[in-house]
């Protein structure tokens, strides 16, 4: 989470980071004086952010708090340099960049989880029939999770209840496909993976190897 916040803040700070950022600079119609001031603001932010990242005496929570404070302070300084019209355009660019970086981070996490999931399942030495059934279970699970998450009419508690029931349903299906030894190994690896994702999740949460399981677990909490 901290690495994600740092990356988003640093990338968003690049709008416009330098006078050479021609496309965004033209959109804001910055003066030479404004470009210089923004460049100084961003360089100071980058320097302070890197110091926070490298400070081994800070806890992850403290780093996150300091990064957020730096980002807020930088935003206030930027707004003091821009006109109201420029500020509105800058905020649009700033928000768009943050969303873009968040999406990129999420996709990278999904790819990483998917790769680890395939390796983990491969270690179970599934038969062709088991592999086909497990793939069908994951595909069906993914489709149902998507439907639940996209249902804007459902209350949050109802979504959580449905996701919890969906996980229980999937676990029962997986158990019916695997042998007793395979299922025991499957659970052991899921629990081990859960330890690596304990930050930001409640203890005892069921973790799986499929990227959609992880997303649903996060929502279900």
Cα(183)–Cα(174) distance, integer angstroms: 8
Cα(168)–Cα(140) distance, integer angstroms: 14
Q: Is the pLDDT of residue 140 over 50?
A: yes
Question: Could you identify the residue written with the tokens 């707004």?
Answer: 79
Q: Which two tokens stand for residue 54?
A: 């490298």
Kindly report, residue by residue over 164-217, the tens digit of the pLDDT.
Answer: 999 899 989 999 999 998 888 888 877 776 665 554 444 433 444 444 444 434
Q: Is 154 helix (H, G, I), strand (E, B) or coil?
A: coil
Q: Which residues of 151-186 are buried (b: 16+ CB within 10 A; e: fewer)?
A: eeeeeeeebeebbeebbeebbebbeebbeeebbebb
pLDDT at 11 (0 to 100): 47
Cα(84)–Cα(12) distance, integer angstroms: 19
Give the predicted TM-score (pTM) of the model: 0.43
pLDDT at 57 (0 to 100): 92
Q: Is the pLDDT of residue 6 over 60?
A: no
Cα(124)–Cα(178) distance, integer angstroms: 9
Q: Is 26 helix (H, G, I), strand (E, B) or coil?
A: helix
Contact 155, 215 (CB under 8 A): no
Kindly report, residue by residue over 20-77, the tens digit of the pLDDT.
Answer: 344 556 678 888 898 899 889 988 988 998 898 889 998 988 988 898 899 889 889 9
pLDDT at 219 (0 to 100): 36
């Amino acid at each position: 989470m901290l690495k994600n916040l740092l990356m988003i803040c640093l990338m968003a700070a690049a709008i416009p980071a330098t006078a050479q950022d021609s496309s965004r600079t033209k959109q804001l119609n910055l003066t030479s004086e404004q470009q210089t001031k923004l460049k100084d603001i961003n360089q100071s932010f980058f320097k302070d952010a890197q110091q926070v990242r490298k400070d081994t005496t800070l806890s992850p929570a403290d780093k996150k708090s300091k990064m957020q404070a730096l980002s807020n302070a930088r935003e206030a300084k930027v707004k003091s340099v821009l006109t109201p019209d420029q500020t509105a355009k800058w905020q649009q660019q700033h928000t768009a960049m943050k969303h873009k970086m968040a999406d990129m981070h999420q996709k990278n996490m999904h790819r990483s989880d998917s790769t680890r999931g395939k390796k983990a399942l491969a270690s179970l030495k599934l038969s062709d029939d088991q592999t086909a059934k497990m793939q069908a279970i994951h595909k069906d699970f993914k489709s149902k999770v998507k439907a639940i998450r996209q249902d804007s009419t459902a209350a949050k508690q109802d979504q959580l209840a449905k996701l919890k029931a969906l996980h229980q349903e999937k676990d029962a299906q997986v158990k019916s496909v695997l042998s007793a030894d395979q299922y025991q190994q499957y659970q052991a690896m899921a629990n081990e993976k859960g330890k690596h994702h304990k930050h930001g999740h409640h203890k005892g949460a069921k973790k799986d190897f499929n990227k959609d399981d992880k997303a649903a677990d996060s929502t279900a909490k």
